[in-house]
Amino acid sequence: MKLSNLIIIILFFWSCSTLKTNDTQSITIYMIGDSTMANKKNPNSNPEHGWGQVLPIFFTENVIIKNHAVNGRSSKSFRDLKHWKAVLDSLQKGDYVFIQFGHNDSKDTDPKRYTNPQTSYRYNLMRYVEETRAKGAIPVLFSSIARRKFNEEGVLLDSHGNYTLITRLVAQEMNVPFIDLQYETEQLEITYGVEESKKLHLHFKKGENEYFPDGIEDNTHLSKLGANEVANLAVKELSKKVPSLKKYSKLNE
């Protein structure tokens, strides 16, 4: 065989293999929400992590994740403080928008954040969905993650009231994929149990952790372990509820 023919054959198979590895189109996922989703400062020393912060490790390199979630934001304040405008201005056709609010919407002593679940919260979610779709992007609604709230009998109690129900109803009404992370994380907390579930959150005695020298007992925000567990649950549910994302999940490899 001539050398030139050999080179042509090699180049042919190389091009085929290259096409095969690049046949999955790159996508962009935008995330909007609160501190349970947000990226945290000083990740090497800060034990607190948002589940959106660790989400990239569960997807292939074809997924670009832009986490715009911000500590302390509700569905109202996220828009009022112009965080949503930055996302909306950047959205392209085919992008995904993960929407998760509720924790701070329930703060009924703070008029800058509080929303009535039956009225303004519902309306805010609908606006996010409508404006996302107007840009040709794909909205996905998430319920809030559960708080670690066990009573004396070891029963995990609800702390989100009607916010999860309204999120579910908006998703049904507007035909939006709905990921019930409250249910999934309730089961996670229960599986870990009353004491072991502290590892999912921020529980340190005084002097035990340099980042929280005075100690901390936080049953809302996530440790790195907790964030990874929640992200794992989210990706598993996304593969079921948003089939177009399944091929990007490393959990399916």
237 phi, psi to nearest 5 deg: -70, -35
Instruction: Note the pLDDT of residue 252.
Output: 78
212 phi, psi to nearest 5 deg: -125, 75
Instruction: Note the pLDDT of residue 5.
Output: 44
Q: Which of 106, 221, 223, 237 is catalytic?
A: 221
Q: If you ran DSSP here, which 8-state letter would residue 119 be given?
A: I
Catalytic, 221? Answer yes
Catalytic, 35? Answer yes
* pLDDT, averaged in runs of 10, over the chain (253 residues): 42 42 80 98 95 98 98 98 98 98 96 98 98 98 97 96 97 98 98 98 96 96 98 98 96 77
Tell me the helices (H) and strands (E) count for the chain, helix number first: 8, 7
Q: Which of 196, 208, 217, 244 is catalytic?
A: 217
Distance CA 235, CA 74 (A): 23
- Rounded to a whole number of angstroms, the distance between the first and last alpha carbons of the chain is 39
CB 41 within 8 A of CB 48: no
The distance from CA 148 to its chain's CA centroid, rounded to whole angstroms, is 18
pLDDT tens sequence across 13-50? 444 444 334 457 999 999 999 999 999 999 999 999 99
